[in-house]
Amino acid sequence: MKKTVLITGGTCGIGLGIGLGFQSAGYDVIATGVNAEETEATRNLYPDLDCRVLDVTCQEQITTLLNDLSHLDVLINCAGVILRDNQEHTAEGFEKALDVNLNGTMRMCYAAKQLLTASQGCVINTASMLSFFGSGYVPAYSASKGGVVQFTKSLAIAWAPEHIRVNAIAPGWIKTTLTQPLYEDEARSREITARTPLNRWGIPADVVGPALFLSSEQAQFVTGVVLPVDGGYSIM
């Protein structure tokens, strides 16, 4: 039987890149997007992807989606939001970023636990370079991604008796719609690549191999790990 992966935030950016990579590796891929327009656009481009609408802040939608699945091997939490223009320095903006990035990850994990227990599957969460470094521009995003790291480690301990492995990937500077304002800013982009030993921006395809590894039998003794995929940015 083919393995099944569910990827939140899987209709764009890093999530879509991972989904296409897993599809090429022989997985059945369920990719979710936050709204019908984005989901339909991705479905039209990639008709073999099972694209569905899901708001990870809505428990009812999450429960409905998971109840519709009979089998799940891998859950990858990529749904995320970053709010610019000082929105994260407001209570409303701060709460929104945490609700999507951290609470959304938590909701998905707990909703998928029964299926993952049955398959002895695994979870891959999405951390960030800002899990390790602060940001004066996006404090809520940084706080939420720091929380994702500790949640990942804690869940790896809690779910080990069920043989569910829980790991995270911490992407560096990857070209997506979330980072578009940065890589289109020539001065800021130069600063980023100058600090990155591999001297370039990443692309979503760069994250596929690490995600496939963490989902594979070769990683059966790997849990609670946060794997940077950053071209060396975090070692500088």
Question: Residues 6 or more apart from 68 whose CB is under 8 A from it?
Answer: none
Q: Which of 195, 230, 229 is nearest to 214 (CA)?
A: 229
Per DSSP, the three-state class of 232 is: coil
Both structure tokens of 219: 């990683």
Q: How many other CB atoms are found less than 10 A from the CB of residue 181?
A: 11
CA distance 57 to 107: 8
Distance separating the N- and C-terminal Cα atoms of the chain: 44
The separation between CA 131 and the C-alpha centre of its own chain, rounded to angstroms, equals 13
Catalytic residue among 46, 110, 137, 141: 141
Q: Which of 78, 63, 62, 85 is nearest to 15 (CA)?
A: 78
Does residue 196 come out as left (phi exceeding 0), alpha (psi in the -120 to 50 range) or beta?
beta
Whether 137 is catalytic: no
Rounded (5°) CA angle 81-210-12: 35
| Residues with active-site annotation | 141
